[in-house]
Structure 1
Amino acid sequence: MAFQPIYVMRHGETVWNAEARFQGALNSPLTKTGRAQAQQLADILAGHDLSGFDVRVSPQGRAFETAAIALARQVLELHTDARLREIGVGLWSGKLRSEVAPVGAAQDDTPDGPLALYEHAPEGEGFAALRARCQDFLGSLTAPTLCVTHGITSRMVRAVALGQPSANLGDLPGGQGMVYVVEDGVHRRL
């Protein structure tokens, strides 16, 4: 990749995250914990000079609100980029995970639930389309970049940046209130 580093952050906890609901293209507000996680991101980034960084944010409300809190001290403008929106979950949007999980399916493969569910959501986007969107995003970068996105999209951006297959998404850590950096083929958490 020509421009590095890439800082990747996920939005703070939302009401629907707390309820274990699929959000996809839908939105729910940040919880008190989610706003605290956004502030935690601001504290992490306080020790890092972001001048010269292109800041890109998913246009979905939860990501934009997180970015506004986390970056207020350092960034004058937030630029939205639809390629950073969360993976579409089609007919599962707004449903509880327990309503869609196959009988006997593990619910704890990752903090976000089984990643395989995102691949098989009826009328959902699927990993191939998400990967193409993330490749397009990364290919458009012209400067070091900080992006605020979502759980599955965050993993896919990092997988693509690291040259890893989509099958490795579950190997990449997730979570809210953390900043991940991809630089020179190395993945680390700030």
Structure 2
Amino acid sequence: MSYPEIYVLRHGETEWNAARRMQGGLDSPLTPLGRAQARAMGRALAARGITAVTHRVLTSPQGRARATAELALGPDHAPEPRLREIAMGDWSGRDRAEIDRRWPGPPGEHFLDFYARAPGGEGFAALWARCALLLASLDGPAVLVTHGMTSRVLRTIATGGGRADLAALPGGQGVVFRVAQGRHELIPAPLAGGAEAG
């Protein structure tokens, strides 16, 4: 299936990202670095002529994504529930050390398997289904402001990949991803002063 051009932004760093706490459906504010990352992603888009006028801007309704959209592109964005982060169930709000202690995984566990086994979590099948529905609903180019796992799934589907391809795409904060005609591109978003986010 062919999709319109999309630019995918993961929210900037949050206080819980910095503390290695799982957010899922919960929220924490952007850190100063996260706010700088959001502004840098906005500059990277503007350098390509991408604005809320040229592209429809959809954002996860979660606060960290909305704050990122506002800093990057201004107030002209619409909430889209299908862009929310994968629900982490019992792990929401807990730090990684506690999760590893209370719910140990196998040695060398792949990060995708870690997300998939969250007790009471959403799981990849549901996340995949809502991301596929969102992409199929797009009728023109869009900027999607979302979260780490949701971003990976959106980009994997848009490039024609399957679940086995999820880990092949890069992740990170403070970068912009573009997918057009099934091709994936990472667009650096340098912070003011020349350092790159990520």
Match status 1:14 vs 2:14:
yes
Partner of 1:92 in structure 2?
Answer: 91
Cα pair 1:52 1:143 within 8 Å, conserved: no
Match status 1:160 vs 2:157:
yes
Q: Which amino acid aligns with 1:35?
A: R
Match status 1:183 vs 2:185:
no
RMSD: 1.5
Gaps in structure 2 of 5+ consecutive residues: 188-198
Q: Distance between the aligned counterparts of 1:97 and 1:62, measured in 2? A: 20
Partner of 1:137 in structure 2?
Answer: 134
Deviation at 1:87, TM superposition (A): 0.2
Cα pair 2:13 2:30 within 8 Å, conserved: yes
Q: Distance between the aligned counterparts of 1:56 and 1:115, measured in 2? A: 25
Normalised to the residue count of structure 2, the TM-score between the two structures is 0.87
Q: Distance between the aligned counterparts of 1:28 and 1:163, measured in 2? A: 33
Q: Which amino acid aligns with 2:56?
A: D
Normalised to the residue count of structure 1, the TM-score between the two structures is 0.90
Q: Distance between the aligned counterparts of 1:97 and 1:167, measured in 2? A: 24
Gaps in structure 1 of 5+ consecutive residues: none
Cα pair 2:3 2:181 within 8 Å, conserved: no
Secondary structure of 2:71's partner? Answer: helix
Q: Which amino acid aligns with 1:91?
A: D
Among candidates 65, 69, 74, match of residue 67 of structure 2: 65
Secondary structure of 1:139's partner? Answer: helix
Partner of 2:82 in structure 1?
Answer: 83
Match status 1:30 vs 2:30:
yes
Per mean C-alpha deviation after superposition, the further-off stretch among 97-106 and 4-13 is 97-106
Deviation at 1:116, TM superposition (A): 1.5
Cα deviation code 1:32-72 (max 9, x no counterpart): 11011111111111212233311100000000000100112
Point out 4+ residue stretches in structure 1 off by more than 6 angstroms.
Answer: none
Q: Distance between the aligned counterparts of 2:138 and 2:57, measured in 1? A: 10
Q: Distance between the aligned counterparts of 2:163 and 2:21, measured in 1? A: 23
Deviation at 1:97, TM superposition (A): 1.2
